[in-house]
Amino acid sequence: MGYVDHGRGHGTGPVAHAGHGGHEASGRDVASLTADPHRRADVKVTLVARQERFRLASGRTVDGYTLNGRSPGPSIRATAGQLVQVRLVNKSVAEGITLHWHGVDVPNAEDGVAGVTQDAVGVGGAHTYRFVADQVGTFWYHAHQVSHEQVRGGLLGPLVVTPPQSPAGTTDVVVLVHLYDGVQTVNGREDDARFEAQPNERARVRIINTDNGKMSVWVAGASARLLAIDGAEVNGPTPIGDATVTVAAGGRADLEVTMPADGSPARVHLGGGVSVVLGSGSYDAPATAQPAKPLDPLSYGGRAPLRFDPARADRRFRYDIGRRPGFLDGRPGLWWTVNGHLYPNVPMFVVTEGDVVRMRISNHSGETHPMHLHGHHAVVLARNGVPATGSPWWVDSLDVDHGDSYDVAFVADNPGIWMDHCHNLPHAREGLVTHLMYEGIRTPYTVGGKAGNEPE
């Protein structure tokens, strides 16, 4: 297909390419890419971060991080079109902190990546994020400074954007799944999460997978449809039957569960450990084995036109994931590669605003990689050469298994310098990261430096 590597050479890393000493030094600064500074905020939140020992809702003690004295942090909710303002205060996180709005296509200055879009906030410091919640859907926020450690330790929380009017007869359930010290939790609890739902009522179960691996989800005792993937609504969703829904690391899935008319409860299994149990009064639901059949988003739902033509791409990239021996930060080992190159000598993907971009992501590394592109959603066109036939499958977190290749496309409509990395965060720490860079954009920030920026 003539995929071309549009990287700007291989002598320095992606952050160095984008820095103020690079070839775009005369361009726009990422710090200028913000929401309207004169607009009043509709939703105001203050999050105070601490590094401390804390108790989960179950009573288990964890050494990690909290936001406003708890982990997960507070649920942030907004209505579509509202301006969200979050003030982050660092009370005691020694390595510094930032916040990234996972799945929300914010202006680049608000992306929260230490060393790329801001400096890490040191102890005693504060930083304010402002963005318009244009996208309806289920998202989450998490640290992007030493993220492999701080996310695991609890610096995260849910973010939900709802339409101005929610459907009648529907209850809304937010389910954040996270491992603390190897123990799976739902909203900070180690046991099943129970929610009231009346007979014939529909429950929208918003599942957020914050862990480093994929999660299998299936429903017992009720009919269910897959309404949304990564905050993007599915066109023409149908009952999933006895299929298993796979949620990528960092990904989200919204399930609509229709409660039985006879008042029986329903159970949503979350990876075979904890579950969501829905019902009324004194209720429980029997556990069931995981179905063998996976739901395939490539063919699920009904077709719908795209707002652009992927066949008329302005840029075509390849993103080949591999592994080979080498040195990373002076350490010998077996490290991840991008197009055969070890970090920091990986290619950058350079675009111009307005470009239609196609990318083929191939994985020959021996492990699964949940790939996450900041600031954009991409539509899946094909897997292993098989075209998509269902609803447009929009993603910001895409599982690419060993031996698989995906053709995806998106419009470069959000100027900035955007991380594109594996959301198995230890993999990113081990070099599986590159950047999407818009022509004419520069950053004054750098990895390391006085702020001690370490995004992964």
Is the CB of residue 346 less than 8 Å from the CB of residue 318? no
* CATH code of the domain in which 314 resides: 2.60.40.420
Which tens digits make up the pLDDT trace of 118-144? 999 999 999 999 999 999 999 999 999
Residue 110 inside a domain? The answer is yes
Domain check: are 21 and 102 in the same one? no
Report the pLDDT averaged over residues 240-253. 98
Domain check: are 322 and 433 in the same one? yes
State which residues form the domain around 155. Answer: 43-162
Report the pLDDT averaged over residues 386-401. 99
Asked whether the predicted pLDDT for residue 25 surpasses 60, the reply is: no
Asked whether the predicted pLDDT for residue 4 surpasses 70, the reply is: no
Domain check: are 316 and 241 in the same one? no
Residue 455 inside a domain? The answer is no
Domain check: are 147 and 191 in the same one? no
Which tens digits make up the pLDDT trace of 32-61? 999 999 999 999 999 999 999 999 877 889
Which residues are CB-contacts of 71 (< 8 A; sequence separation ≥ 6)? 54, 56, 62, 64, 65, 154, 155, 156, 180, 188
Domain check: are 49 and 150 in the same one? yes
Please state, in angstroms and as integers, the Cα–Cα distance from residue 149 to each residue in 70, 196, 203, 420, following that order.
Answer: 17, 35, 34, 19
Domain check: are 437 and 310 in the same one? yes
Share of the chain above pLDDT 90, in %: 88
Residue 35 inside a domain? The answer is no
* pLDDT at residue number 272: 73
Measured CA to CA, the distance from residue 299 to residue 302 in angstroms comes to 8
- Phi and psi for 15 in degrees, rounded to 5? -70, -40
Which tens digits make up the pLDDT trace of 170-179? 899 999 999 9
- pLDDT bracket for residue 283 (50, 70, 90): confident
Report the pLDDT averaged over residues 73-96. 99
Asked whether the predicted pLDDT for residue 26 surpasses 70, the reply is: no
Domain check: are 152 and 82 in the same one? yes
Average predicted confidence (pLDDT) for the chain: 93
Domain check: are 438 and 314 in the same one? yes
**Domain end among 128, 145, 162:** 162
Report the pLDDT averaged over residues 253-279. 95
- pLDDT bracket for residue 358 (50, 70, 90): very high
**pLDDT higher for 273 or 349?**
349
* pLDDT at residue number 260: 95
Report the pLDDT averaged over residues 388-406. 99
- pLDDT bracket for residue 23 (50, 70, 90): very low
Domain check: are 21 and 66 in the same one? no
Asked whether the predicted pLDDT for residue 152 surpasses 90, the reply is: yes
* pLDDT at residue number 12: 33
Domain check: are 438 and 309 in the same one? yes
Asked whether the predicted pLDDT for residue 227 surpasses 80, the reply is: yes
Residue 8 inside a domain? The answer is no
* pLDDT at residue number 27: 87
Q: Answer whether the bond into residue 286 is a cis peptide, omega within 30°.
A: no
- Looking at the structure of the chain, the number of domains it has is 3
Residue 343 inside a domain? The answer is yes
Which tens digits make up the pLDDT trace of 293-343? 999 999 999 999 999 999 999 999 999 999 999 999 889 999 999 999 999
Domain check: are 253 and 375 in the same one? no
Report the pLDDT averaged over residues 248-270. 97
Residue 6 inside a domain? The answer is no
Residue 182 inside a domain? The answer is yes
Residue 194 inside a domain? The answer is yes
**Domain end among 162, 192, 218:** 162
Which residues are CB-contacts of 242 (< 8 A; sequence separation ≥ 6)? 218, 291, 293
The 3 state secondary structure assigned to the chain is CCCCCCCCCCCCCHHHHHECCCCCCCCEEHHHCCCCCCCCCCEEEEEEEEEEEEECCCCCEEEEEEECCECCCCCEEEECCCEEEEEEEECCCCCCECCEEECCCCCHHHCCCECCCECCECCCCEEEEEEECCCCEEEEEECCCCHHHHCCCCCEEEEEEECCCCCCCEEEEEEEEEEECCEEEECCECCCEEEECCCCCEEEEEEEECCCCCEEEEEECCEEEEEEECCEECCCCCECCCCEEEECCCCEEEEEEECCCCCCCEEEEECCCCEEEEECCCCCCCCCCCCCCECCCCCCCCCCCCCCCHHHCCEEEEEEEEEEEEEECCEEEEEEEECCEECCCCCCEEECCCCEEEEEEEECCCCCEEEEECCCCEEEEEECCEECCCCCCEECEEEECCCCEEEEEEECCCCCEEEEEECCHHHHHCCCEEEEEECCEEECCCCECCCCECCC
**Domain end among 162, 178, 211:** 162
Domain check: are 174 and 143 in the same one? no
Asked whether the predicted pLDDT for residue 168 surpasses 90, the reply is: no
Tell me the CB-side half-sphere exposure of residue 207, using CA atoms within 13 A. 32
Would you state the structure tokens that stand for residue 2, as one six-digit string? 């003539």
